[in-house]
Amino acid sequence: MALNWFKKLKTGLSKSASKVGGALASVTGKKVVDQLTLDDIEDQLILADLGIQVSARITKKIKDKKFVLNDKKEIASLDITETVAAEIEEILLPCELSLFDNVTSKPHVLFLAGVNGSGKTTTAGKIAEQFRLQNKSVILAASDTFRAAAVEQLKTWGNRVGAEVVSGVDGGDSAAVAFQAFQKAQNESVDIVIVDTAGRLQNKKDLMEELTKTCRVLAKLDDNAPHQKVVVLDGTVGQNAHSQLESFNEAIGLTGMIITKLDGSAKGGVVVSLAEKFKIPIHSVGVGEGLDDLQPFKASSFSRAIAGLDEL
């Protein structure tokens, strides 16, 4: 599975990878990394959405590093690429944490939030599938009472993975739906409740307050609920992810994030600066529309894919 993810990620990244390779190829034969190469490295990191600050800093580290010359008295381009990957991995590694590591309560409530179209409903379905594979019973709470057909979409996923879906009326109170789902799970001793909330832009104060309220309502049934509060980030997002994380974190206190849509041409590099700034665990990555297209996040694979290297 992990290999599958890496392959998909790598395909997506191949364009930028080949470019980095090309830029770095020009290094061979030189004893220092010249400015042109450094500029290229920085450009490629910016293109991967790492953001201007992190990109500049990694580039500077390459510049300052004393590379060991090979027997031809040259710097091997692979050394440079490896260094770029290692720098990125160093930032990401502390945030690598499985989604399933802290599932200890019963029922365990996993709360999903994020902006519109980031892939919450699809992710809810995929997570439910993973719990099913662990022989855990799941209730899906269709807390998105706003978007047309959001409930139907979740119900289809529910059918696929054999999970019950609790829903309310369209335009109804989303917190109430979450509450009912949790209550039902308690009464019927279901293992897991996954709350799928409506997408909302982080600058809509009222809607963010609604999220806070939903969490508060869940806590009435169990002080520690929701046990996990995960933001779903679209992998194609740029620097706006910072604002998203800040607002969602402020509203509900995030315990982790999931990055979706990494099977496309986007690199999702913004998570590097997110990891550094917020230190919020990264659980999984979404790499397709299928049931099993949710893979654990691996700092090493992710970093090497951005640098255009093969998996170790």
| Nearest-10 Cα torsion for 166, 169, 172, 173 | -20
Residue nearer to another protein on the CB measure, 60 or 205: 205
Residue nearer to another protein on the CB measure, 163 or 218: 163
Residue nearer to another protein on the CB measure, 2 or 149: 149
User: What is the number of alpha carbons within 13 Å of residue 220 lying toward its C-beta?
Assistant: 12
Residue nearer to another protein on the CB measure, 45 or 110: 45
Residues 54-63: contacts with CB within 8 Å, 24+ apart? 54/91, 54/272, 54/273, 54/276, 58/84, 58/87, 58/88, 61/87, 62/33, 62/38, 62/87, 63/33, 63/38
Interface residue list for another protein (CB under 8 A): 11-12, 15, 43, 46-49, 51-52, 115-119, 122, 146-150, 152-153, 155-157, 201-205, 234, 236-241, 243-244, 261, 263-267, 269-270, 289
Instruction: Compute the distance between CA of residue 41 and CA of residue 88 in angstroms, rounded to an integer.
Output: 13
Closest contact distance (angstroms) between CB of 281 and another protein is 22
Residue nearer to another protein on the CB measure, 88 or 225: 88
Q: In which element (H, E) is residue 168 found?
A: none
Closest contact distance (angstroms) between CB of 85 and another protein is 19
User: Residue type for 269, please?
Assistant: G
Closest contact distance (angstroms) between CB of 95 and another protein is 19
164, two tokens: 């019950």
228, two tokens: 């996990």
Closest contact distance (angstroms) between CB of 263 and another protein is 6
Residue nearer to another protein on the CB measure, 87 or 263: 263
Closest contact distance (angstroms) between CB of 222 and another protein is 30
Closest contact distance (angstroms) between CB of 108 and another protein is 25
| Nearest-10 Cα torsion for 56, 60, 62, 68 | 180
Spatial neighbors of 187 by CB under 8 A, at least 6 apart, are: none
